[in-house]
Structure formats: structure tokens, C-alpha cells
Amino acid sequence: MQFDLNTTLIAISVIISILGLQLLVYWSRDRRSRWVGWIGATFLLGALSLLLYLPPMRNYPFIDFGIGNALRIAAFAFLWLDVRIFCGRRPELLVVALISSLWLALCSVPAFLGNFEARVVVTSVLTALFLSLGALELWRDRDEYLPSRTPTIAVYLSFAGFMLMRIPLLEVLPFPMGGLPIDPNWLALFALISFVHASFIVGFTLSMTRERCETEQRRFALSDSLTGLLNRRAFLDHAARMNRRRHGPRDRIAMLVLDLDHFKLVNDRYGHEAGDMVLQSFAETARRATRAGDLLYRMGGEEFCFVLPGASVAEAGAVAERIRTKFEESFVPRGSECISATVSIGVASSEMTAYDLERLLAAGDSAVYEAKAKGRNRTIIAQPTSLTRAPSARVAAA
């Protein structure tokens, strides 16, 4: 089956334009997803570049090969910029402008403009470069868990490899797969492979957008709006997951139960706004004083609970003392006054035979009450006997 060159180009341009418009519509309904709008613009730019292959542009090599390829290179560069925006980085428009200008400068040299193989090599390298940069941007942000990230990286690298494959095929296959005279059938195949890659990029990007949105919603549901720490619901979810894994080997775990001292007096004397500022100050102090993998929960009011995976009693006690002393030394400015507060901390550990967050919480509660009875602003290590008591009232009431 033989395809007409002009018909093939027009059909490809129309399909790409429709997909680009659909993406722009999607973006118009969710303006926060700016990267989707950029992909839509990328497809429209690519469709426009293909139209420059049509007559009468073939009579003007600089427009056909120079401007047309500049637009195609810019379209692949926009895919890279789209990934940068998705990852929260600034789009490097100047880089795209410089590369496009460099290409146009090369095409202004008759020797280069007339060298078909040189043009294919340079365009293949540049498009593969931008696709590889897109994969690199996604890889750099791999700490943000998104299930669709890895397949998206694979598609970008596959697309880059496909574009580079044209170089060794220059003397073997017709353009655009190689460097022999253009053939509509090979053009259709090239367009199909490119469109499949582009479709997967769009699909996986939309999947990552949805996955990020779902993650943000879960984080919002499980976080405390005032302090940014995890909330009591998150603690209960964590405890339930641990209870489902009762069997098998376990690492040790420690828990800190923390209660700000005389917090009601702070609210009564300075107002609830000042009290909120004290809570925020404590949360920030705790973040700086704990380890990267520790889980920090605000259980309600001035009560907090920190879970320290892998920590021994001694290590948990050291973390507790670091929090206590740093918070005691801190203050919150309020007009001409400085508000200071202290915290009482109870420490419980699975080394005392219990590996149940609810019972560890109950033991930590007992230790906190003991700390307050002994004068507050101190750390108390829970005794093994306290781990046999019933779960904490704050958990049982949940």
C-alpha cells in the first residue's frame, strides 16, 4: 500500500493537533497542572512544523529544512521543559531559544543546509538530547514516589534511542527513518512509532498528575493543618498496619509521648493565636531535633506522639532530651514579650517486650504523668510494668 506524501503529512498534523487541543482543554479545567498545557503546546508546535514540508515550502530550503526543523527541535525541547515544570523547576526557555537560534545559524550556511546527512545527524542528536534530559529530570525527583515515574522514564529513553537509531541507518533506510530519499510509507511508520511514544508520554504524565493529586489528598487527610505534623488518624492507621503484621521478625521501635506544660495558661494569658504560635514553634523544634525517618504525630491539643523506628531506649531518651532542651531555650515573640514554654516527655520502647503502638502509647502516657508529677519539664523512661496496662484512653476513645 502506497501513501501519498502530502496526505500523510496532513493526516499526521491533524492527529497531533487534535491531541494537543485535548490536552489544552484538560489544562483549562485544572490550571494547577501547567505541565499538561505545555505538552498540549508541544503537540501543536510539532504539528505546525510538519506543515512546512508541504508545497510550496519545498521550494524554500531555509523555511523547509531550517525553520521547520527548528520548530521540531523546539517541540522536543518543550517536552524537557514540561518535565521540569512537573518537577517544580523553572522552564529554561533561554536554552531552547539558544539551541533553535544555533540551528538556524547553521542552516544559514549553504554547505550545511545542502548536506542532508549532516542535518539528520544534528537533529537526531538534539532531539535525543532533550528526551534524555526529560528522563534525567524525572530520575532526579525519584524520592517522590509515583508509580508511573519509572515507565515514563523508560518511554523517554526509548524515544531518545529511536531518534539516535536514525544515524546508523542513514545509508540503509529512506527518510525519515534513515537518509535515503523520502518515502511516504516509511514516513507513516516513523510517524506511528513517534506517535506511540508521545501517547505513552502523555498517558503516563497524566497518570503521574493523578497520583500526585491522590498523594496530596492523602497527606492532607493525615496531617495536622496547624503544625504540619501527622495527625491522630495517621497514628491509628499506622497502629492498625502494625497490628496486621504481628508475626515475623521485627526491628525495635521506640515512642515519645509529649505534653506541653501549662499550655492552658499560655492560651488564657496571651490568647489562642499565641498558643497556636507556640504549637508551631514546638513542631518546628521537634522536626529539627528528630531523625529523618521518625514519625511525628500531633494527637490533639498540646499532646504529641513521636514514633522512632529502630531506636533503642538510650537513643530515644537522647532524642527526647534534645527536643526538651531546645524547646526550653526557644521562645515566641509576642509584641514586647517573649513567650516560652516547656514540655514533659515519656519514653517507651519495644525493648521492654511490647511491640504494640497502642500499649507503647499507654506506657508513654504513664511516663508523662510521672514527669508532670515530679515537676514537669523532664523526660521519664517508662518502666516495663507500665506496658501491661490497657491501651491509652486517647486511642481507646478514637
Confidence of residue 397 (pLDDT cuts 50, 70, 90): very low
Higher pLDDT, 187 or 373: 373
* Separation of alpha carbons 79 and 72, rounded Å: 11
Residues whose CB is less than 8 angstroms from the CB of residue 19 and which lie 6 or more positions away in sequence, other chains included? 43, 198, 199, 202
Q: What is the pLDDT of residues 100-127, one digit of tens each?
A: 999 999 999 989 988 888 999 999 999 9
Does the domain made of 230-396 have the CATH classification 3.30.70.270?
Answer: yes
pLDDT score recorded for residue 57: 54
User: Which one of 24-28, 310-314, 320-324 scores highest in mean pLDDT?
Assistant: 320-324
Q: 332: which strand partners?
A: 339
Does the domain made of 5-221 have the CATH classification 1.10.3210?
Answer: no
* Separation of alpha carbons 122 and 124, rounded Å: 5
- Residue intervals of the chain classified under CATH 3.30.70.270 are 230-396
- Residue intervals of the chain classified under CATH 1.20.1070 are 5-221
Q: What is the pLDDT of residues 155-188, one digit of tens each?
A: 999 999 999 999 999 888 988 888 888 887 888 8
Segment 58-67 shows an average pLDDT of 74
Is residue 393 over pLDDT 60? no
Is residue 299 over pLDDT 60? yes
**Reported pTM:** 0.67
pLDDT score recorded for residue 280: 95
Confidence of residue 248 (pLDDT cuts 50, 70, 90): very low
